[in-house]
Structure 1
Amino acid sequence: MKQLKLLDIGENQIGDEGAKSISEMKQLTSLDICYSRIGAEGAKFISEMKQLTSLDIGGNEIGDEGSKYISEMKQLTSLNIDNNRIGDEGAKSISEMKQLTSLSINNNEIGVEGAKSISEMKQLTSLDISGNGIGDKGVKFISEMKQLKLLDIGGNEIGDEGSKYISEMKQLTSLNIGENRIGDEGVKSISEMKQLTSLSIYNNRIGDEGAKSISEMKQLTSLDISGNGIGDKGVKSISEMKQLTSLDISGNGIGDEGAKFISEMKQLKLLDIGGNEIGDEGSKYISEMKQLTSLNIYNNEIGVEGVKSISEMKQLTSLYIYNNQIGVEGVKSISEMKQLKSLNICYNEIGDKGVKFISEMKQLISLNIGGNGIGDEGVKSISEMKQLTSLNISKNRIGAEGSKFISEMKQLTSLDICYNEIGGEGVKSISEMKQLKSLSIHNQQMFK
């Protein structure tokens, strides 16, 4: 295949021997070989591909030795080397790649010394160093990278002191500082970053006072403040941010009153309010947001009445309403939303009867209907949805006959049929779907 310039062969467990074969494709300029069981030897083969400008080798086991080989690829401008057991020594090798403009090195074993090495890469404009536990001391070094525009420093045990260092990075436009230990004092520092347009500060220790500080960032257009327990009082402050177009406020203990405040944000296009306690009454308020195109309202104790309100949002193209209590009657209302392109309705006890209503949604291209007690009869209805390209039907009661129906969906490119009972015969049927690009089929009774 001498004409290929871009190749994505990730998640295929090709190992070092496979990496050797791939390295012979000298015409490639972009390669994704993530999660392929490649070690240091495989990294050595890949490093010989001197024409590559973009490489994703994340999720392998190349370690410090493999990092040294990769660092010799002086032509690369974009590198993803996540999840590779790289320590401070490996980070030092990577820091010598002075031509890189984008680097993702998250979830390795980089400490303060590694952060110091990375901070010397003055040409980087985008850096993901999340999940490394570098702490406030490591953050101090990273804060000296004055050329960065995008920074993901989540999951690094950063506290209020580290937040102060980050707040000095006046050139940043996008910041992810989620999964840390930032409290109201740290948030106050972050709120001084008036140039930010995108902020993710999820799963920290922000209360309603911290939410008040965040609400003063009038330049933000995208905010993720999920998992902070800000409650209805904090939501009131956030609702004053009239410039936001995207908001994730899930997992914050929001009730009906908070939903009412959110409903006043008429400029929002994308809203995630999942994992709260808004119920049917709160759903009614949310349904008044006629400008929304994407809504995630999972796990909110929504019943039939709440779903009826949501179904009136005729402008939505994407709806995630999984893990509620809508049942067959609620599904009937959802099926009337003829404009939806993507629907996640898993864990709603809809059964075969409810599936029949879903099958009438001929405009859907992506459907997640997992965990709904669907059997072969329900699958027969789903198989008639010839426009679907992505289907998740995991954790149901599908047998060999049902898998045969699924195999007739020749337009599907992505299928998740895990945790069913299709057996060896069912697997044989699924194997005939030659058009699939992505398939999850584990935990079956294959040999019965």
Structure 2
Amino acid sequence: MSLNSIKQNLDNDDESETLELFGDLYQRPASIRDLSLNYQNNGLDDETLITQVLEKLENFSSLESFSLQLQQNKIKEQGLHSIGEELQKMHNLKELEVNLKNNNIGNSGLDSLLKKIKSKNLDYLELILQNCGLKDEGLPEVFDRFTYKNHSIKNFRLSLHNNYLSDQTIDSITQHICRMTNINQFMYCVGKNNISKESGRYIMKSLQNLNKLKDLELYFYNNSIQNTGLINVLKCIANFPYLQELTIHFQKAQISEGAIIPVQHIKPDFPLHTIDFNFYKNDINDDTIISITKHISQFKQLQRLSLSLFNNKIGDQGFEQISSLLSELPHLFYLQIYIGQNEVTGMGLEQFADNITSIKSLQNFNLWTVPSEIQQISFCYLINKISKHPQIRSLTLEIGLEDKEISDLLIQSVLTLQNIYELNIDLFNFCEESLAYQIIKKLPLLVLAYELDYED
């Protein structure tokens, strides 16, 4: 056990171990700088939180990093007030994580916690407030009071998922957050609330006040973002001049055909190098995904791209154009693409393979698909094309096998991967254990790392 870093996970029957742990730590609290406690699903209420945890923390004022995982308990306002009292004593605190997922804390409970967080040294803050019983009325004022006095924070991660908050509430909270102008990394999860297509535009407009922003993560899933919201969000990306990493998730966001992103002139040296877009389970067709990909291809410094298109309506033309447009990116070395449950045929997959493998800079390729939906021979054609690529050294294939006939073809194709140094194969929807052993047995010696998973 390190003298300056402690991490402890505690199960329901761990009370004696907890007391022993704190008894040991209590002898030298001033030496501890990093403390992480996990009380997930321990049945804690306000009283037990105070007696079993917080009273033992009273002498840990020298902490610089503190993580408290309290998800799925029964914590309310009194407990959060007591947490805040202890946090107020930690004058050297630089990093703080508090996970309150599935605790019905309400606005008053959150306010009791936030009004105590005001360390001048606080650099990193993560607040997970998923399904916490937050309400529209009065919530913006809670964040108003908090953001007014916390301008040192540079990395802020906030989840408001599943609180059924309105457009107006989310927009007001965003405006208050943007007072903290030192933020250069921001994660904002507003999934499963009552936000609409206009909210995306308002959020992006407010976030432009964070003029130091380099890393942005936005999660809009399970909302009525629709085509208008998608367009409003994507066309604002170029308004963040220092942005380097971007993650936006639009799962189940009611996006359909006809979402055409306006053509923008983006400077070739725009610094964005990493994009992660997730469009799981929408009604995106060829025209929409081509427009989205055209927009992506404008960012010429892009090096890493993750694109989840699972469960849409994209056909051969869409996948051909996606791969063709991506081949125009001169620095792209990492590509992860999920293409399962679309309308692509074997011919479309072969054209996709030809274009993807023409990306000379590509070194790491991750593909998710279900070969039974397309011509199996075309899937193997893709693997064979990859095997001839001079630069690809890392390959991940997540393959939903539903037919044993593909096993021999798959083995033969994998054996052509003589240049691959790292190979990960995930065989889901497949129950023949022998296939995994056959691949392991026949893999070339050049493969330094591999993983084969299968599910019964």
Q: TM-score, normalised by structure 1?
A: 0.72
Shift of 1:126: 0.6
The separation in 2 between residues aligned to 1:324 and 1:9, in whole angstroms, is: 37
Q: How does 1:319-330 map to 2 (within 5 A)?
A: 319-324=395-400, 327-330=407-410
Does residue 148 (structure 1) correspond to residue 183 (structure 2)? The answer is yes
Give SS of 2:301's match.
coil
**2:451 aligned residue:** 367
Does residue 104 (structure 1) correspond to residue 126 (structure 2)? The answer is yes
Shift of 1:52: 2.4
Shift of 1:11: 6.9
Shift of 1:169: 1.8
**Corresponding letter in the other structure for 1:50:** S
**Corresponding letter in the other structure for 2:398:** Y
Q: Which moved more, 1:141-150 or 1:6-15?
A: 6-15
Q: Which moved more, 1:131-140 or 1:266-275?
A: 131-140
Q: Give structure 1 stretches of 5+ with no counterpart.
A: 371-394, 397-448
Q: How does 1:175-214 map to 2 (within 5 A)?
A: 175-179=216-220, 181=225, 182-203=229-250, 205=255, 208-210=259-261, 212=263
Shift of 1:141: 1.0
**Corresponding letter in the other structure for 1:367:** E
Shift of 1:16: 5.2
Q: How does 1:72-87 map to 2 (within 5 A)?
A: 72=88, 73-84=90-101, 85=103, 86-87=105-106
**2:324 aligned residue:** 260
CA contact (8 A) 2:362 2:392 kept: yes
Q: How does 1:277-288 map to 2 (within 5 A)?
A: 277=344, 279-288=349-358
**2:273 aligned residue:** 221
The separation in 2 between residues aligned to 1:331 and 1:144, in whole angstroms, is: 56
| Aligned counterpart for 1:116 among listed residues 144, 156, 175 | 144
- The one-character-per-residue Cα deviations of 1:264-309 (angstroms, maximum 9, x if unpaired) are 3231121122135462331232123342232221026462222222
| Aligned counterpart for 2:305 among listed residues 247, 269, 273 | 247
The separation in 2 between residues aligned to 1:211 and 1:43, in whole angstroms, is: 54
Which structure dedicates a bigger proportion of its chain to helix? 2
Q: Give structure 2 stretches of 5+ with no counterpart.
A: 372-377
The separation in 2 between residues aligned to 1:131 and 1:212, in whole angstroms, is: 33
Which structure dedicates a bigger proportion of its chain to strand? 2
CA contact (8 A) 1:304 1:327 kept: no
- The one-character-per-residue Cα deviations of 1:375-430 (angstroms, maximum 9, x if unpaired) are xxxxxxxxxxxxxxxxxxxx23xxxxxxxxxxxxxxxxxxxxxxxxxxxxxxxxxx
Does residue 312 (structure 1) correspond to residue 392 (structure 2)? The answer is no
Alignment identity in percent? 16
**Corresponding letter in the other structure for 2:451:** L
Give SS of 1:223's match.
strand
- How well do the aligned residues superpose, as a CA RMSD in angstroms? 3.2
CA contact (8 A) 2:66 2:96 kept: yes
The separation in 2 between residues aligned to 1:211 and 1:32, in whole angstroms, is: 46
The separation in 2 between residues aligned to 1:213 and 1:238, in whole angstroms, is: 11
**1:401 aligned residue:** none
Shift of 1:335: 4.0
The separation in 1 between residues aligned to 2:236 and 2:298, in whole angstroms, is: 20
C-alpha distance 215-327 of structure 1, shift in aligned 2 (>3 A): farther
The count of aligned residue pairs is: 371
**1:430 aligned residue:** none
